[in-house]
Every structure is written in C-alpha cells, then in structure tokens.
Amino acid sequence: MFIYFIGFVVLFLDQFTKHLALRNLSLKSIPIIKNVLHLTLTFNTGAAFGILKGYNPFFIFVSIVIIIFFSLNLKGFEKKNFLFKCSVGLILGGAIGNLIDRVRFGYVIDFIDLRVWPVFNIADSSVTVGIFLFILNHLIRTQK
C-alpha cells in the first residue's frame, strides 16, 4: 500500500506541475534564482538529457514493460524494507508520469532548469532518486 501512496503522490505532483508549466510558462524562461534555477518550458522527444530524440514509440514500450514488471511484483514488494518500497514507488510514479506525457503529447514536458544540467521534471527526478535508492538498498543488503 505504501508503494501505491508514494507512486500516486509523485504522479500527482508531476502532472500538476506540468499542467502549471504548460499554462504559465509559454516558451519563456523565468528566473527563480538568477543563473541557478529557472523555469523553462521544453518538450523532450528523447530520453534523459535529450538523447535518442524521436524514439517515442520505443520509450513508450520500455515504460510499459517497466510498469508491468513492477506492478506484477507489487504484492511481494510489500514485504520488503522501507527504502526498497520508496524506491519502487518513486520509479513507478515517475515512469507513469512521463508515459502519460509521451502517449498524450508525443513528448515529455520538462521545466526545471538548473542551467548546468538539462531541463527536467518531477517524474525524471523521481525515477533518478528511485534508482539511486534501489541501488543503495541493494548495496546495504549485500553488505550484511
């Protein structure tokens, strides 16, 4: 149940912030902290960092496979530790958030601009943090 909660929160925040970005940013950049954090609306047809642009059907397929894999194993995941459950919830919520964009628009909506990093969104952050926690959990468990 906790995995569902984390995934839902991520999905809600992701879709809500993307809605706000689409509605309010147009194609201009708004500095929040000048030269550090800007809100910049971009449309990404590729993967992380914009690589493999134009492979949207491939990314839709991969996202669906990942979501199905984790979803089919959720019952067994509930017996796992807190860190593992957080990681799966973050990955699932982020994957579903970006999948919705890919299916709905044909691209992923990005808007968080750190100026030294490609523009990203809540779903991207969640997947990244989720993978980090997943690996960290595995490393902790194998050291015992």
Structure tokens at 28: 């201009």
Reply yes or no on whether 14 is catalytic: no
124 is catalytic: yes
Q: Which residues pair with 29 in a beta bridge?
A: 40
Phi, psi torsion values for 23, nearest 5 degrees: -75, -35
Q: From CA 137, how far away is CA 131, in angstroms rounded? A: 10
> In 3D, which of 45, 39, 25, 28 has the Cα closest to residue 111?
39
Options 14, 101, 113, 124, the catalytic residue = 124
List 14, 101, 110, 113, catalytic entry: 110
Residue numbers annotated as active site: 110, 124
